[in-house]
Amino acid sequence: MNLKCKLILEDYRKQKEHFVTLGNVVHDILSNIAKDLGLTVLAVEHRVKEEKSLAGKLERKGDGYNSFEDITDILGCRVITFLSDEVDKIGKKVEERFVVDWENSSNKKDLLKENAFGYLSLHYICSLPFGDKWPDEICGKKFEIQIRTILQHAWSAIHHDIGYKSDFGVPRDINRQFARLAGLLELADDEFVRARDNMLSYTEDIRKRIITDDADDVQINMISLNEYVLHNKNMQKLIKEIANIAGAEINVIDPESYIPQLAYLGVKKLGDIERMIKENYDLAIALANKSLSVANLDIVSSSVALRFLCRAELLSKNYDFAKVVEFLKMSLRDQDKAERQAKLLLKQKEDI
């Protein structure tokens, strides 16, 4: 190793702790960017290059560096998203929060020819600005930020692990195989975004129909049931009245677990729940009074109305003991508990 490379390693040893501090700062900034955007990401990662790794790089490429400051990957940070449009959203915020070295940053997608597939990601060389809240010793130091999807990350990791860091010297048919796989993953990324958008559009449509009382024929599923519980005025009235019985606050939860119970009762459309509310409102309130008036609860779930509606339906439709037990086992998962609850429920019917 020549003198220049030895001096670079010496500077590395002096400054490594600054990069450790810088890594923690950048990690927090990237995590907060995702949080502020309302995005759930797979991971925010960072690493400071070890001396052995840097020495190996200098052995291979030392002629390309004149000083320690020329090395931009001492600190490497990565954000792995679930969806491809989230890459660009986070990228825009990175451009706002950091000083970007545009000459050395790249969008891999822009570098591909229109008839080619390959590893796609955003790749920034950044630094923290001076004069902000961070100490001067970590400002102005360059580091890398990669932003990519989980599928792009998988492709890159496998491609790297198998050992094909470069296209040179790799047989053409194997290169084409990797290119085809990259194309499939790119298509999958696009389809995941489209599926998300379709889900959001469906949810918005169902919500509008519920609010305008035009959802009777909507099939019950995890989205439609959740929207119904949150936005149907009759359901909300029932939830609030039951919560008042207990003197408790309402904790909003996903009511998906009630879908099989509703199906057991033959309730398959939102209009069927509306019918249950109209027919069994008073009975559901009476059952809630029996169970909750002395329960001393601080919180009840938003699905509490479904609980008492279903039980009111069992009683009003005269389900026999065996059927009531079978229904209760769907949530209790225990025969003895289900039988005890069934006896109690049927006794409550006599008392009301």
Question: pLDDT of 185-244, one tens digit each?
Answer: 889 999 999 999 999 999 999 999 999 999 999 999 999 999 999 999 999 999 999 999
Residue 165's pLDDT is what?
A: 53
Q: 269 in helix, strand or coil? A: strand
Q: What residue spans define the domains of the chain?
A: 3-191, 222-351
Q: pTM higher than 0.75, yes or no?
A: yes
Residue 114's pLDDT is what?
A: 44
Instruction: Please classify residue 163 by burial: count the beta carbons closer than 10 Å to its beta carbon, then call 0-12 exposed, 13-18 middle and 19+ buried.
Output: exposed
Strands 299-301 and 249-251, how do they pair? parallel
Residue for token pair 């389809």: 191
Distance CA 67, CA 221 (A): 61
Residue 110's pLDDT is what?
A: 60
Residue 119's pLDDT is what?
A: 57
Torsion angle in degrees (nearest 10) through CA of 119, 122, 125, 129:
-170
Distance CA 182, CA 159 (A): 10
Q: Is 242 left (phi over 0), alpha (psi -120 to 50) or beta?
A: alpha
Distance CA 312, CA 285 (A): 9
Task: Provide the residue type at 17 as one letter.
Answer: E
Distance CA 87, CA 105 (A): 15
Instruction: Please classify residue 107 by burial: count the beta carbons closer than 10 Å to its beta carbon, then call 0-12 exposed, 13-18 middle and 19+ buried.
Output: middle
Please identify every stretch of the chain with a pLDDT value under 70, giving residue numbers as ranges. 1, 62, 107-120, 163-170
Residue 310's pLDDT is what?
A: 97
Within 10 Å of residue 262's Cβ, how many Cβ atoms? Answer: 21
Give the total residue count for the chain. Answer: 352
Backbone phi, psi, residue 130, to 5°: -75, 160
Instruction: Please classify residue 198 by burial: count the beta carbons closer than 10 Å to its beta carbon, then call 0-12 exposed, 13-18 middle and 19+ buried.
Output: exposed
CATH number of 3-191: 3.30.460.10
Contacts of 327 (CB under 8 A, 6+ apart): 261, 264, 265, 310, 314, 319
Could you list the beta-strand ranges (E) of 159-280.
249-251
Residue 115's pLDDT is what?
A: 44
Q: Which residues of 20-43 are buried (b: 16+ CB within 10 A; e: fewer)?
A: eebbebbbebbeebbeeeeeebee
Residue 32's pLDDT is what?
A: 98
Q: Which of 61, 40, 51 is nearest to 13 (CA)?
A: 51
Tokens of 125: 């060389």
